[in-house]
Chains A and B, each alone.
Chain A
Amino acid sequence: MPLYLTDEQQMLRDTARDFVAEQAPVSHMRSLRDANDATGFSRELWKQFAELGLTGILIPEAENGLGLGHVEAGVVLEEIGRNLSPSPFLTTAVAAVEALKGSPHAARWFPGILAGETVAALAIDERAKHDGKIGMQATRSGSGFRLTGSKQFVAHGHVADLLLVAAATEHGTTLFAVPADSKGLTAHPQRLADASLAARLTFDGVELDADAVVGEVDQAPLARLLAAGRTGASAELLGVGGGAMDMTIAYLKERKQFGQVIGSFQALQHRAAHLYSEMEVARAAVLKAQQLLDSGDDRAADAVSVAKAMTGLATTLAVQEGIQMHGGIGMTDEYDIGFYMKRGRVLAELFGDANFHADALARAAGY
């Protein structure tokens, strides 16, 4: 399979690009922030995603979805990233759908996701750094389980209808589908640096039936969920970095000092060209991971780590150069480039940063 978008995928990209830029440009995110919006995204926009079929992008056609893959999901996520559009698309339509696909939970939750009514959140992290360690306990209770502990960095966790919760069971990790109205579950929304909302969750003896288990007990489909989440986050990062780079290069062609546009200075040209190179390499890494995931290739795990690490590194460079090359105006809240830096920081941290994934690659390679 060639490593570029097919004609169909390019058409989807054009559709997504027009739709997101029109309905949820950066000004949309800014107005939600200025209104101190408590939801964290526009439910109306989520409905519009559903009307286009996009919330069912990974849901099989037999279950009324589009039956597409991670390449296509990434095409949409890149536009979300480019416009900094607040959306539960990544957690719901990508990671949660991937985790629930093929399980009895699909029948319960997919119709709401397809309708743009249901939002899902992922409760994985328990410490400030994503480290893959699950300490929260799920103990046997009658025929079901009882959850006790806490989670953090749960994007949309305070408004989600469904929480996918990873917890330690006797011989491993188990994934639970937990309805948001479960007794003993409390969500404390936290405003993050990028104005998005992520919850700290406490589970105070939350009782669950045995059928809340996703997959098998002790064998959480966490790798599948995280691979989808990380690949999706990489695609969104590509959009954030690409958006910051495009905005910066446009500024270099417009801003004049010493009687000429600053983009004519070689000191800036070389940095811009270096940034372009890093972003191109990151784009290739993301597409490679998406294609390998879609074909079920066993090299996908490494490729996903490469994509997440590389987009983290490249986008961090893009937003830093973005502010520096904009100069003073880049430091103002009025100008959008700062939003890119904040969003990039959050996404770089989500599901493991570049250091985490470089370490994972090293371990996989035996050092």
Chain B
Amino acid sequence: MPDTDLETFRAETRAWLEENCPPTMRTPMRSEKDATWGGRNPVFAHPDQKLWLDRMAGRGWTVPDWPSAYGGGGLSAAETKILREEMARLKCRNPLNSFGISMLGPALLKYGTEEQKLEHIPKIARGEIRWCQGYSEPNAGSDLAGLKASAEDAGDHYIVNGQKVWTSYADQADWIFCLVRTDKASKQGGISFVLFDMASEGVSTRPILLISGNSPFCETFFDNVKVPKANRVHDENKGWDVAKYLLGHEREMISGMGLASRGADPLIEAARRGVDPILRAQIALFEVRSKAFSAMSERFIDELKAGRAHPAQPSMMKYYGTELNKSRHELLMAAGGSDALEWESEASNHGAAPRAWLRTKANSIEGGTSEIQLNIIAKRILDLPS
């Protein structure tokens, strides 16, 4: 598209966003509770969240670069970038947080059948179904391919048994995408990728209380759950390909967690109010890396869209982004002093700062630990031997 058309698109997008993004949705989120997740039983802390979601979904702009045939926006890479830039300029909140968008959707677009795409992707785009991810197990963390949850062949369906852990928001999810073992003889080559309704008979979840005092993760149990074979994505025993592809997208999402449009930056605000010179210097050096990583994120997305990114580059993004986010919250805690220790008070927004600080410690564990990412970079990018 010529530059003049892109400038027209930018002007129209800016006008539409100014008209349609409610002012409340241009303020920074106070806590995780302000995030919109959608689903069958959606929870909105403010009614404008629903309005904003519906308006964006109406244009397919919850997933701007997905095909319009499946409810996406059908935008080009350049147009998508402009939309994101204009949303950042107006400080618009993300209209929809969704593992369907950040993880399952891209995998379905690549590996799903036409029926699967038509069934699931529009509902992801509109935020009608909330998904969770059944990957890790008690004895399959970093060594994910060692997973044991089994799917037994029963003709036109599988019988699934086993346990998953660290299933984010499983207690609030409508459907799960899940890795199951369909062949015990082969490790990576014995895994299949299946989708099923969390309301199915035999599925139960139990939230896990974390150090943040919150329970975003669950243990999830499957007791003779019946899953139609039509719900398998890609071939039987080829689920590891789908899993790896999806993990790449998950890593991208986690790498960007510290970078979402935040409006006023609390770290800079704290520094402006006055901190000791050593902390000021630490914040300033942190900001160098943080701003450089913003450029890296832009470069990565541009290279990805153009097919120029190294396939293992998401590991670098995930490693660097999560370590940076942990540093950021350490600095926020140091700048906040004893105010940032209050766990329950109204003034502290029920301990938003310390809970967020503790939450970030999972960033470098979930989706593959930092150490696993470094292994991947060393082997696949630097070509260092095993």
Contact = CB atoms under 8 A, between A and B. Distances in A.
Interface of A: 2-4, 249, 252-253, 261, 263-264, 266, 269-270, 272-274, 276-277, 280-285, 287-288, 302-303, 305-307, 309-310, 313, 354-355, 357-359, 361-362, 365-367
Given A269-B374, A358-B287, A365-B287, A284 B384 contact: no
Contacts of B378: 266, 269-270, 272-273
A310 B382 contact: no
Contact of A284 (B296, B308, B383): B296
Interface in B367-386: 371, 373-375, 377-379, 381-386
B288 A276 contact: no
Interface size bracket, B side: 35 or more
Interface in B345-374: 371, 373-374
A358 B306 CA distance: 33
Given A269-B374, A272-B384, A361 B288 contact: yes
Contacts of B291: 285, 302-303, 306, 361
Given A3-B299, A281-B292, A264 B287 contact: no
Interface of B: 77-78, 268, 271-272, 275, 280-281, 283-285, 287-289, 291-293, 295-296, 298-300, 302-303, 305-306, 308, 313, 316, 319-320, 371, 373-375, 377-379, 381-386
B292 A282 contact: yes
Nearest to A266: B375
B316 A310 contact: no
A4 B304 CA distance: 11
Contacts of A281: 289, 292-293, 295-296, 320
**Sorted from nearest, which 9 A-B pairs have the closest CB atoms?**
A269-B378, A273-B377, A367-B271, A285-B292, A288-B295, A358-B284, A284-B296, A2-B302, A3-B299
A3 B287 contact: no
A285 B306 contact: no
B258 to A, nearest CB: 14
27 contacts: A2-B302, A3-B302, A3-B303, A4-B299, A4-B308, A263-B385, A264-B386, A269-B375, A269-B384, A270-B371, A273-B319, A273-B377, A281-B292, A281-B295, A284-B298, A306-B292, A306-B295, A310-B288, A355-B281, A357-B288, A361-B284, A361-B288, A362-B284, A366-B272, A367-B271, A367-B272, A367-B283
Contacts of B289: 281, 310, 313
A100 B344 CA distance: 61
Given A313-B288, A354-B285, A358-B281, A253 B303 contact: no
Contacts of B300: 284
B306 A4 contact: yes
Contacts of A313: 285, 288-289
